[in-house]
Chains A and B, each alone.
Chain A
């Protein structure tokens, strides 16, 4: 059981470039999330999705876009990369937070550097 997978694991971008971070989960979770974690800090929510075709902004959405065409996949798009987007990006999924356990399962992360 793979859980939540993310690609790539590492990436270096030049300022102004764009890229897509991939996230896939095989647990049939409706809820998926993208977080960023800056060095020594906690997690900040970028975007989340409650099901295919439904996405919404989190705390820090500027400079990012998402889509959710399937239950399994939740890619994060960075447009016009800036040094401030240097961070570690985690994708997570969960069953509905209001039912059952609702804990999140995290992917291994993508370490992104923008120079």
Chain B
């Protein structure tokens, strides 16, 4: 059974600092997705990582995928308040399903 774990679950950081969110999964998959959810809102797609070694960057966020280690990271560079949200990773679990991590609630303090 595919399981997806994220850490940390909660992250409070100062503006301008760097930090990394980790997403580990238990069985082989070559597709991993990162989503953002603002409080009271829906989920929006951030990154789609489709192969080992894939790296995607958008603004202050950079995501990478290591399929051999079954690990994806979401790196935050010089955090700003607008990045405060909950971040989910999701792994393609076979042909039809996606398994979501528990989410990382990020709060960036001014």
Interface positions of A (Cβ within 8 A of B): 31, 33, 40-43, 45, 48, 50, 56, 58, 90, 92, 96-98, 101-109
Nearest CB of B to A31, in Å: 7
> In the complex, what residues of B have CB within 8 A of residue A45's CB?
97-98
A104 touches B42 (CB 8 A): no
B103 touches A102 (CB 8 A): no
A48 CA to B96 CA in the complex, in Å? 8
Q: Which residue of A lies closest to B31 (CB)?
A: A102
Between A and B, 10 residue pairs with Cβ closer than 8 Å are: A40-B105, A45-B97, A96-B95, A97-B94, A97-B97, A98-B92, A103-B45, A103-B48, A104-B90, A106-B35
A42 touches B98 (CB 8 A): no
> In the complex, what residues of B have CB within 8 A of residue A101's CB?
48, 50
Nearest CB of B to A35, in Å: 8
Residue of B31, B48, B98, B100 with most chain A CB atoms under a 10 A cut-off:
B98
> In the complex, what residues of A have CB within 8 A of residue B95's CB?
96-98
Q: Does B52 lie at the interface of the complex (its beta carbon under 8 Å from any beta carbon of A)?
A: no
> In the complex, what residues of B have CB within 8 A of residue A41's CB?
102-103
What 17 additional pairs, Cβ within 8 angstroms, besides A42-B102, A101-B50, A103-B33?
Answer: A31-B96, A33-B98, A43-B88, A45-B98, A56-B96, A92-B43, A96-B95, A97-B92, A97-B94, A97-B97, A98-B92, A98-B95, A105-B45, A106-B42, A106-B43, A107-B42, A108-B42
